[in-house]
Amino acid sequence: MERVQAQQKWGDLTDDDLDKIDGRREEVVGVIQERYGKDKEEAEREVQEFESSCNC
């Protein structure tokens, strides 16, 4: 996952979050759920849209 683009999309993601996530999709979804109060389906959809738009 492109760090800069991810932080632009989800401004609450810290460098520590991105280090912990280390490109694992399921981790990204979980952190987005937690930080933004989204349900799993919504977080999954956002991650999928992000992946499609950034060609990661």
Predicted local confidence at residue 46, as pLDDT: 96
pLDDT of residue 9 exceeding 80: yes
8 Å CB contact between 51 and 24: no
pLDDT of residue 56 exceeding 80: no
Confidence of residue 2 (pLDDT cuts 50, 70, 90): confident
Confidence of residue 54 (pLDDT cuts 50, 70, 90): confident
pLDDT of residue 18 exceeding 80: yes
Cβ neighbours of 37 (radius 10 Å): 9
| Single-letter code of the amino acid located at 50 | F
pLDDT of residue 7 exceeding 70: yes
Radius of gyration for the alpha carbons in the chain, expressed in angstroms and rounded: 10
